[in-house]
Amino acid sequence: MKHENYIELHQCKKGYLYRISSRNLSIGAYDGKEGFVGIREKFGNRYLFTEYHYDQGAPFGTVFPLEEIGPLPNNLVICDWLTNPDTEDKLLKNTPLFDYLDAWLKQHITQEIVKKRYPQSCAKNISGEWIIISCPTCSGIIGRGGETEEAAWADAARRIDQMESGAYI
């Protein structure tokens, strides 16, 4: 299915993360060579996988970049496998990139769960503790995360799940 409004290949920026529409990925890090690396799940396994921009053409061009999310940290190498410096074989998993993308997905998926139930919800840091409140003008705390915003969103999503399943005490 072709998307009418997608970011063309010449507009993509190397080292940036994009929200994409593709066969197997929802976000992808652009490698600067027509490929987007993201986390694929297949048969219960999760691993880095590269898909290519639609503008590359058939049969491999399956990615439509829809939104530029922002730059990746400079220390990340954008590829699915790293070269083993001892043997020069592609044997090493790119764990730093996987961990970064995995954390990004977890944070933003939990935010989406909370935002479906509480569209006005937002994160605030009060005296060094991150909390999620149900709307900017009220004080209803729906999640606490201690030192990290990500933990607060995850706590809010967990509490909502408990409330909706009747397990909240």
pLDDT digits (tens, 9 = 90+) for 42-94: 877 889 999 999 999 888 899 999 999 999 999 998 988 877 767 766 678 88
pTM above 0.75, yes or no: no
Residue 148: per-residue pLDDT: 78
Confidence of residue 152 (pLDDT cuts 50, 70, 90): confident
> CA–CA separation, 112 vs 37, rounded Å?
22
* 136 pLDDT above the threshold of 60: yes
CB 55 within 8 A of CB 97: no
* 159 pLDDT above the threshold of 80: no
Residues ≥6 apart with Cβ < 8 Å to 108: none
Average pLDDT value for the chain: 84
CB 111 within 8 A of CB 145: no
Rounded to an integer, what is the distance from CA 157 to the centroid of its chain? Answer: 17
pLDDT above 90 covers what percent of the chain? 32
> CA–CA separation, 38 vs 24, rounded Å?
9
CA atoms within 13 A on the CB side of 107: 13
Residue 139: per-residue pLDDT: 67
* CA terminus-to-terminus distance, the chain: 46
Confidence of residue 168 (pLDDT cuts 50, 70, 90): very low
